[in-house]
């Protein structure tokens, strides 16, 4: 039987080990930094410490994402809180020399920058702080305390009411109230239920979930175990992209560790509550982010969606009642349980509570992973936290919501980021990709790029998405070549409307968004490319 004392012991042990050391060097070992050479860097630090005989006073460890991905690989020195960017193994001796002295200015990124100060970290509270491969590190950061609290002191109904109170909405894109979803699954009288974590983060330009899974995998497992307790499920699946091998590996290790600690398994913490988690590897299909397609894929089939209702809560995985949330949603749960739903509801806006993690990318200075309270404006995010534009070019648009989201122009940057406001601009919150586009980029071409994406990712089941996206892409390409007519533009707009309203799933329904939003805000760019001909001959005819 695990008790609070066990958890406190582990916490004490970890913090003692840390406090013994004067300096703790955190090297980011999330995928981005690894690609930039952080494993070599980690080794260089270790060797340098050993050769200097500083093993007793210096601790070096690999941690999850520190945040400033543009400055990969990133290193943090604790307890001082110094952040270094773009560190090379050659820089190691200099950094070691500087410990307890003046930081190395040429590598330092000030912690006073809005990039750090303007963020509010809930989901990412442990990212860049703990070693994602050490369960003890997670426990030391109050990990699994929420699970303990839930199964030792709360009824399933109390857990759900806390989630309802928090106002948490699904972070996968649609923003469906999480508590409501949990209630529906809890209420179905079925014996066998499943909890599924959607980690099929397919939006190009989005890496929130990857980062959370690589930096703090236990957090997601804990959220799922709590969800399983609340809705009455004893089995969970994490459906993760094959493109994220590191996240998969860390999750696999984390599950194993959690099982050893009885935080997962037949009898969690010695109680009668059992919850198993299995990993399922995706195989490269964007549509599998749609919940019914995801279910089809976990069942080993083609990832094609089916019409809802019945919703997965009624009939989901293997025909059973299934709760599906995405990574970030589960990652919020432990904090909500530990700090209370009211605390969470005090952050954010009227209808969008808490924080949101964004992957800031594109032509912005501070490319990276950020977490901000809901309701911050796009301008604040891009110009303060993001540090403004990279290079001399002006901002033309910011693309939110992934390939089926929309392009928001400069003039709308004061829009607060919440579900409803983004939707009113013809975009979506999506899972949190935010790509800044400068004025060197043709907006018509960007929309064409997204259409190409939708064409190649359409599953082909329903007619409007399968043929409609292809025809939209053709029309769009024709306009982009300067061969489009006014009539073509009208057809494109009407076709967008058709695909939006008649497609079977969210992918098709939102596929026209990039075209519609760019037509709404950048229509003149399209019109400038039209030809004067009334009806232009099809390709090959004009020649």
Partner 1 sequence: MKKIKLATVWLDGCSGCHMSFLDTDERILGLLEHVEIVYSPLVDIKTFPENVDITLIEGSVSTNEDVVKIKKVRAHTKTLVALGDCAVTGNVPAMRNPFGVEATIDRAYFHLVQHNPLTPSEYLPRLLDKVVPVHDVVKVDFHVPGCPPPADTIYYALTELVRGRMPDIKLMTRFGK
Partner 2 sequence: MTEIQSVQIITLTIDGKPVGASGGETILDVAKQNQVFIPTLCHLEGLIPYGACRLCLVEIKGNNKLVPACITKVAEGMEVITNNERLQRFRRWILELLFTERNHVCSVCVANGFCELQSLAEVLGMDHVRLPYLHPKFVVDATHDRFVSDNNRCILCGRCVRVCSDIEGAHTLDIMGRGIKARIVSDLDDDWGNSPTCTRCSKCVQVCPTGAIKEKGRRSVGEKFKHRDVIAHLAEMREAAREED
Partner 3 sequence: MQRLSNLPDPPNSDEKWKGVQLVMRKHGQSPHALIETLHAVQHAFGYLDRDSLTYVSDALGVPLSKVYGVATFYQYFTLKKPGTHNCVVCTGTACYIKGVPKLVEALKERYGMALDEVSADGSLTLQSACCIGTCGLAPIASVDGEELGRLSAEELLDKLEEVIHGDA
By the criterion CB under 8 A, which residues form the site for partner 2?
Answer: 285, 287, 302, 306-307, 309, 455-464, 466-471, 474-475, 491, 494-495, 498, 501-504, 538-539
Q: Kindly provide the b/e burial profile for residues 28-64, where b requires at least 16 CB atoms within 10 angstroms of the residue's own CB.
A: bbbbbbbebbbeebbebbbebbeeeebeeebbbbbbb
Name the β-bridge partners of 434.
360, 400
How far is Cα 361 from Cα 369, in angstroms, rounded to an integer?
9
Number of residues that bind partner 1 (CB under 8 A): 8
Task: Kindly give, in sequence order, each residue whose CB lies less than 8 Å from that of residue 77, ignoring residues fewer than 6 positions away.
Answer: 23, 24, 25, 26, 84, 95, 99, 103
- Among partner 1, partner 3, partner 2, none, the one that 297 touches (CB under a kind-dependent 5 to 8 A) is partner 3
**Closest approach of partner 2 to the CB of residue 460, in Å:** 4
Residue closer to partner 1, measured from CB, 242 or 537: 537
Between CA 375 and CA 353 the distance in angstroms is 9
Q: For partner 3, which is the closer residue by CB, 38 or 352?
A: 38
CA gap 246, 183 in Å, rounded: 34
x-marked contacts with partner 3 along 58-97 as a string, rule CB under 8 A: ----------xxxxx-------------------------
Structural contact between residues 459 and 305, judged by C-beta atoms closer than 8 angstroms = yes
Write down how long the chain is.
Answer: 543
CA distance 40 to 402: 33
**207, interface contact from partner 1, partner 2, partner 3, none, CB < 5-8 Å by kind:** partner 3
Sheet with 108-109, side-by-side order of all strands: 58-63, 23-28, 75-78, 82-84, 108-109
Site string for partner 3, 209-238 (x = CB under 8 A): -xx---------------------------
Should residue 477 be labelled a site residue for partner 3 when binding is judged by CB under 8 A? Answer: no
Helix count and strand count (H, E) for the chain:
23, 14
Size of residue set near partner 3 by CB under 8 A: 56
543 binds, among partner 2, partner 3, partner 1, none (CB under 5 to 8 A by kind): partner 1
Q: Using CA atoms of 471, 476, 480, 485 in order, give the dihedral in degrees to the nearest 10.
A: 90
Site map for partner 1, 498-537, x if CB under 8 A? ------------------------------------xx-x
Provide, rounded to whole angstroms, the least separation between the CB of residue 541 and partner 1.
Answer: 5
Residue in the block written with tokens 């009411």: 161
Among 102, 153, 300, 541, interactor with partner 1 by CB under 8 A: 541
201 binds partner 3 per the rule CB under 8 A: yes
Q: Which parts of this chain interact with partner 3 (CB under 8 A)? A: 31-32, 34-36, 68-72, 201-207, 210-211, 242-244, 280-286, 297-303, 318, 359, 361-363, 367-368, 399, 402-403, 433, 435, 437, 441, 446, 449-450, 453, 457, 459
């Amino acid at each position: 039987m695990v008790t609070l004392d066990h958890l406190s012991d582990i916490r004490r042990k970890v913090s003692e080990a840390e406090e013994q050391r004067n300096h703790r060097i955190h090297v980011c070992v999330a995928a981005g930094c690894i690609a930039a050479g952080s494993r070599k860097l980690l080794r260089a630090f270790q060797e340098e410490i050993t050769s200097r005989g500083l093993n007793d006073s210096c601790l070096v460890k690999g941690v999850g994402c520190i945040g400033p991905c543009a400055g990969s690989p990133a290193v943090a020195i604790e307890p001082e809180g110094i952040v270094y960017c773009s560190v090379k193994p050659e820089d190691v001796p200099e950094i070691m020399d500087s410990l307890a002295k003046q930081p190395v200015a040429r590598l330092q990124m000030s912690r006073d920058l809005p990039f750090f100060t303007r963020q509010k970290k809930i989901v990412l509270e442990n990212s860049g702080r703990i070693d994602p491969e050490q369960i003890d590190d997670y426990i030391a950061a109050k990990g699994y305390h929420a699970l303990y609290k839930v199964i030792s002191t709360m009824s399933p109904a109390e857990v759900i009411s806390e989630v309802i109170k928090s106002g948490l909405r699904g972070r996968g894109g649609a923003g469906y109230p999480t508590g409501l979803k949990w209630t529906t699954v809890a209420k179905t009288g079925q014996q066998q239920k499943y909890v599924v974590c959607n980690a099929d983060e397919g939006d190009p330009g989005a890496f929130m979930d990857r980062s959370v899974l690589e930096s703090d995998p236990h957090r997601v497992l804990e959220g799922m175990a709590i969800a399983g307790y609340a809705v009455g499920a004893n089995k969970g699946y994490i459906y993760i992209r094959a493109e994220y091998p590191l996240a998969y590996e860390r999750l696999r290790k984390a599950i194993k560790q959690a099982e050893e600690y009885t935080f997962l398994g037949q009898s969690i913490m010695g109680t009668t509550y059992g919850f198993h988690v299995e990993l399922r590897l995706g195989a490269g299909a964007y549509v599998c982010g749609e919940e019914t397609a995801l279910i089809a894929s976990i069942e080993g089939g083609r990832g094609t969606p089916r019409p809802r209702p019945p919703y997965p809560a009624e009939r989901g995985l293997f025909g059973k009642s299934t709760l599906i949330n995405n990574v970030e949603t589960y990652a919020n749960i432990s904090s909500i349980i530990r700090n209370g739903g009211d605390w969470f509801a005090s952050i954010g806006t009227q209808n969008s509570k808490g924080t949101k993690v964004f992957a800031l990318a594109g032509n912005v200075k501070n490319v990276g992973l950020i977490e901000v309270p809901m309701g911050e404006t796009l301008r604040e995010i891009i110009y303060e936290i993001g540090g403004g534009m990279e290079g001399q070019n002006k901002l033309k648009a910011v693309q939110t919501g992934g390939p089926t989201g929309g392009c928001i122009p400069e003039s709308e940057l004061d829009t607060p980021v919440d579900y409803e406001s983004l939707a009113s601009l013809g975009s979506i919150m999506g899972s949190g990709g935010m790509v800044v586009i400068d004025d060197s980029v043709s907006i018509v071409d960007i929309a064409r790029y997204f259409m190409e994406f939708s064409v190649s990712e359409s599953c082909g089941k329903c007619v409007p998405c399968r043929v409609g996206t292809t025809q939209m892409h053709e029309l769009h390409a024709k306009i982009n070549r300067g061969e489009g007519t006014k009539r073509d533009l009208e057809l494109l707009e009407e076709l967008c409307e058709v695909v939006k309203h008649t497609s079977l799933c969210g992918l098709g329904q939102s596929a026209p968004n990039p075209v519609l939003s760019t037509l709404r805000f950048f229509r003149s760019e399209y019109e400038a490319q039209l030809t004067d001909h009334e009806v232009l001959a099809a390709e090959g005819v004009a020649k």
